[in-house]
Structure 1
């Protein structure tokens, strides 16, 4: 395959970002016909369909590879211009770093860490909130340059480093425990029947905890348990404290309420630890390197050490 023409690559990125060929044409100050011709030429050159022509337009798996390359190219160009004292190419001021991060990290240790990132030159953060099990999808699609993730397997074109373990505690309000979790039967059986707080439909942490209590071969906790979906970290904690259900709450959020008697620890000997990793593009970017260093230091302070045997 011949080299990829940069004007075609940038055009494909504009179409994906703007959502339509017409909007991309307006952003690039060219005609929609020119945009269509460039995309078709790029597809012919690569021998692959790069876009799904829906509204909004979506990149195919091959298209995501080109989009990721386009974003990396733009990042390198902006870094070079900054080092040369030329400012940003588009005149929009500070360069933005898109990062995917899970809600619990965002609500506890991640935001304070960003305040430590040097602002010379100025850096603007574009945070994408996503479950730690799914942040790598944003990396793969080229939407972000770095991510806090639970996956140790690097996305193509990315490096990965362990951050530590995020500890979750099984908790409920004292009133909830008295109403739903007292009486005969095992705790696992009672939890299966009790109202449960989950972050979203992909949140499996509560079910994993019940299975850990019940042992191999136990029925799925979701079969009988009423579910309350609360899609913010703070709201999740508050819903548990209010007695709406039980749930796995991050230790930094749970401990103050445990000391105040607003939460009860369901089983002291069974926390759940979720390993977290930092993945980022393989770019020689000073700004990205500075962020990675700060995040690693903050995680070492806020998280438990990763198990060296894993």
Structure 2
């Protein structure tokens, strides 16, 4: 049988990033935390934490942290329905979920706030490309994910949310410099564009769908949703921006659409573990309510 006090220590070290901060959180000495972790590692015959700044979990360590997260959720439900005092430690319950950066910058905070107010629980966000967030669930690292992947994840359910709409935008000055003769194939090959990171294919998809070309342009690599917007406003490049963020800047003339009426949509799904925990149902309800009210309807 697993030693849950030791497992809780492992999870706390990974969450806090160091043995010292974990000790403060648990109300014990750093040596006590170290002893719990070392004893469990020796019992299992495997390293669970790579010591460093910060400390990080190994593959097995991540799976065990996910397990203890689920145990805590179930015990919290049991405590609500019985007179028993149940708890592994005094650390507040934290749900770890994977969300893409553009959802974090637009509609998801409203859902997260509804959940936090209803439960008092904490959230830890893993920011990942929407095409890959489901992989975080498959690895057991998170309990839920906003994803563009409609595929099946074992032990989870996937629910359609809607589509996040994007528009190709740039500053008026940039449009004058590069698109004075229109958004042509030649202009798109010369005009610098923004790219979030190497898995970001939105700009290339837009060029392909609206102009029938394979985009081969100078790139600024900007792994930040707000940075994307700020770089465009400064006239450095064009890029695909969530309509929710770009709309007020288009309205006041600081951004212009490169092809008015030609947005593209990214379908999003909420994938969550089937663990029967009240907190997960509350989170799912909040995500569905806000997502379906703020995102475009899936066609």
TM-score range for the pair, normalised by the shorter chain length: 0.7 to 0.9
1:296 Cα deviation from its structure 2 partner:
0.5
Deviation track 1:12-67 (CA, whole Å, cap 9, x = no partner) reads: 54564466789878967647465334223324xxxxx5647564665554554343
Q: 2:193 aligns with which of 190, 196, 202?
A: 196
Match of 2:282 in 1: 290
> Does 2:148 correspond to 1:156?
no
Match of 1:171 in 2: 169
**Secondary structure, aligned partner of 2:228:** helix
CA distance in structure 2 between the partners assigned to 1:38 and 1:88 by the alignment? 20
Match of 1:68 in 2: 66
Match of 1:232 in 2: 224
Conservation of the 8 A alpha-carbon contact between 2:96 and 2:144: yes
Deviation track 1:175-219 (CA, whole Å, cap 9, x = no partner) reads: 2111012338x623322221212233432211222233453xx55
Listed as ranges, the matches of 1:141-290 within 5 Å are 141-183=139-181, 187-215=184-212, 219-221=214-216, 224-229=217-222, 231-290=223-282
Conservation of the 8 A alpha-carbon contact between 2:69 and 2:94: no
The 3 A distance-change label for structure 1 pair 82 and 120 is farther
**Secondary structure, aligned partner of 2:105:** helix
Q: 2:44 aligns with which of 42, 45, 57?
A: 42
CA distance in structure 2 between the partners assigned to 1:14 and 1:115 by the alignment? 24
Conservation of the 8 A alpha-carbon contact between 1:170 and 1:246: yes
> Does 2:294 correspond to 1:302?
yes
Conservation of the 8 A alpha-carbon contact between 1:171 and 1:240: yes
Aligned-residue RMSD, C-alpha:
3.3
The 3 A distance-change label for structure 1 pair 21 and 38 is farther
> Relative to structure 2, which stretch is displaced further, 115-124 or 98-107?
115-124
Match of 1:113 in 2: 111
Match of 1:46 in 2: none
> Relative to structure 2, which stretch is displaced further, 290-299 or 3-12?
3-12
1:248 Cα deviation from its structure 2 partner:
0.5
**Secondary structure, aligned partner of 1:202:** coil
In structure 1, stretches of 5+ residues that fail to align are 44-48
Deviation track 1:113-146 (CA, whole Å, cap 9, x = no partner) reads: 3333374542333333333223234334444322
CA distance in structure 2 between the partners assigned to 1:204 and 1:264 by the alignment? 21
Conservation of the 8 A alpha-carbon contact between 2:150 and 2:158: yes
> Relative to structure 2, which stretch is displaced further, 174-183 or 163-172?
174-183
Conservation of the 8 A alpha-carbon contact between 1:193 and 1:226: no
- State the TM-score, normalizing by the size of structure 1: 0.78
Match of 1:91 in 2: 90
How many residues align? The count is 293
CA distance in structure 2 between the partners assigned to 1:252 and 1:292 by the alignment? 22
- State the TM-score, normalizing by the size of structure 2: 0.81
